Structure 1
Amino acid sequence: MHLNTPASLALLAGIAVLALSACGSSAPKAATSAGSTSSTTLRLSADPGGALKFDTTKLSAKAGSVTLQMDNPAGSGVPHAIAVSGHGVNQAGQTVQPGGTSTETLTLKPGTYTFFCPVPGHEAAGMKGTLVVS
């Protein structure tokens, strides 16, 4: 067989394309198919009348990325924020004035956490609750 005939060159080109496509097909699949993490957004609100409490004391989420959004109603008259602690986590969102929203996004493993307002004196006054992550 002569390698300089059009049929031979087409066969060699086809073999080269197959060889190159086989090389690049195995590595990226493992990275793109591992999308089993969960993402949850939990909303809660500070008391609209200014009491040092949230509208709930119990939250739950799946393990993975968890975002807590705490609305501070315009009529509360008090600054607030949202924070989470437990299992080596201790993070707080930005303190916001009435009418604002404090947000904190965390990566959480299964377990029980405490969410609270980190403004001095607010947690001690009862502005806290339990977050169960499963």
Structure 2
Amino acid sequence: MNLKTLTASALLVVAVAACGSSAGTSAPSSVTASSAPAASAAPAGSAAATNATPVTVKDFALDPKDVSVAGTVSLAVTNAGPTVHNVTIRDASGKVLGATKDLTSGQSETLTADLPAGSYILFCSLPGHESLGIKGTLTVTQ
């Protein structure tokens, strides 16, 4: 095996390992606790997606990085990168309030959440993706 093939194989193994997730690391797609705000995810073509704010996730950024919405949060998330990504909402304490499923390249999903006014963190919950730059802010106004 030549050096180029060996190097390419090693990089592929690292990339696959970085994009995989274990059962305990994925964010829930909805919140079930009765005291938590409601969140859900819907396919991009559904009625929930009609008035949604577009958010593109890619290697390794959110576009736009900072999102501001009034009232109910509705984000039309599209993965424009070659790597699997998701978009997750958490509060300042680290509690996950909603998330899309893991989206492959080209997939879309609408994330809807009823959140009180305030600032939240948008990020990709797959291992290492947030630290690589898939992080932004969500500001909810009433």
* RMSD (CA atoms): 2.0
Residue number in structure 2 paired with 1:33: none
Q: Give the letter aligned to residue 79 of structure 1.
A: V
Residues 53 and 112 (structure 1), Cα distance of their counterparts in 2 relative to 1, 3 Å cut: same
Q: Distance in 1 between matches of 2:52 and 2:122?
A: 14
Map of 1:10 onto structure 2: none
Q: CA deviation at 1:113?
A: 0.6
Pairs aligned (count): 90
Is residue 2:140 matched to residue 1:133? yes
Q: Which runs of 4+ in 1 moved over 2 A?
A: 87-90
What percent identity do the matched residue pairs reach?
29
Cα 1:44–1:127 change in 2 (3 A) is same
TM-score by length of 2: 0.57
Per the alignment, do residues 110 and 41 of structure 1 end up closer, same or farther by CA in structure 2, a change over 3 Å counting?
same
Residue 75 (structure 2) aligned to one of 68, 78, 97: 68
Q: Is the 8 A contact 2:52 2:110 kept in 1?
A: no
Contact 2:57 2:87 in 1 (8 A): no
Residues 68, 105 of structure 1: 8 Å contact kept: yes
- List per-residue Cα deviations over 1:49-101 (Å, max 9, x = no partner): xx2111221100113x211121112xx21011111111655221111110101
Q: Distance in 2 between matches of 1:93 and 1:44?
A: 12
Report the AA paired with residue 56 of structure 2: S
Give the Cα–Cα distance (whole angstroms) in 2 for the partners of residues 122 and 90 of structure 1.
18
* Higher Cα Rg, which structure: 1
The answer for the alignment partner of 1:54 in structure 2 is 62
User: C-alpha separation between the residues in 2 aligned to 1:72 and 1:59?
Assistant: 17
Partner of 1:29: none
User: Where does residue 92 of structure 1 map in the other structure?
Assistant: 99
Matched, 1:123 2:112: no
SS in 2 for 1:129: strand
Q: Is the 8 A contact 2:73 2:140 kept in 1?
A: no
